[in-house]
Amino acid sequence: MGKCDGRCTLLVICSLQLVAALQRQVFDFLGYQWAPILANFLHIMAVILGMFGTVQFRFKYLIFYAVWLVLWVGWNSFIICFYLEVGNLSQDRDFLMTFNTSLHRSWWMEHGPGCLVTPVLDSRMAPDDHHVITVSGCLLDYQYIEVLSSAIQILLALFGFVYACYVSKVFQDDEDSFDFIGGFDSYGYQPPQKSSHLQLQPLYTAG
């Protein structure tokens, strides 16, 4: 019963992670955030692999999923530090999220709740094929929306890591108990060996 409860809970956590990652992927595509897009894609693949390992009792898949969650927590911690400009990180110095291929920022910068976008005409600060805008009236700045999104990802990852370790431990204990009983071990049933010697019997004929 405990194993079933752990598996069901882990599947629910993986489902929530999948929904949150797909939602985040959509907004990162809209904002041309190529680095988060790549990270989200890898995360979606890892979550699907973790769900498959949970359903199919694959111990190694759950271990891979748990290891990935550690890296995922590290990535989202970097996102939080980036948008809060912790240390030497600065949003205005390098366009890290776009691999320095464009000047796009987070989609929430212009489309946040209550934001009013006003274009600045005849601005000399705008590069070619770009325009300068001012954003005002936002109920919540885009930095904090991105931080909140990463915090949710970290929270789900922590729960997923704990349950992945628990379920994989249950799977491993079940395999050990099965081997102890005598399933597929080297001391279990051995088939009879075939003899390589042929016994010759005398043949009598009526003469």
If DSSP states are collapsed to H, E and C, what string results for the chain?
Answer: CHHHHHHHHHHHHHHHHHHHHHHHHHHHHHCCCHHHHHHHHHHHHHHHHHHHHHHCCCHHHHHHHHHHHHHHHHHHHHHHHHHCCCCCCCCCCCCHHHCCCCCCCCCHHHHCCCCEEEEECCCCCCCCCCCEEEEECCCCCHHHHHHHHHHHHHHHHHHHHHHHHHHHHHHHHHHHHHHHHCCCCCCCCCCCCCCCCCCCCCCCCCC
Predicted structure pTM score: 0.76
CA dist., res. 72 & res. 43, Å (int): 7
Rounded to the nearest 5°, which phi and psi values hold at 102? -155, 175
Within 8 A by CB and 6+ apart from 193, the residues are none
pLDDT under 70: residue ranges of the chain: 1-4, 91-95, 100-104, 120-132, 175-207
pLDDT of residue 71: 97
pLDDT of residue 1: 45
Name which of 156, 142, 120, 149 is nearest 31 in CA terms.
Answer: 142
Contact 2, 170 (CB under 8 A): yes
CA dist., res. 18 & res. 65, Å (int): 13
The bridge status of strand 132-136 relative to strand 116-120 is: antiparallel
Q: Is the dihedral of CA 30, 36, 37, 41 positive or negative?
A: negative
Contact 15, 31 (CB under 8 A): no
Contact 118, 138 (CB under 8 A): no
CA dist., res. 110 & res. 106, Å (int): 8
pLDDT of residue 132: 66
pLDDT of residue 21: 96
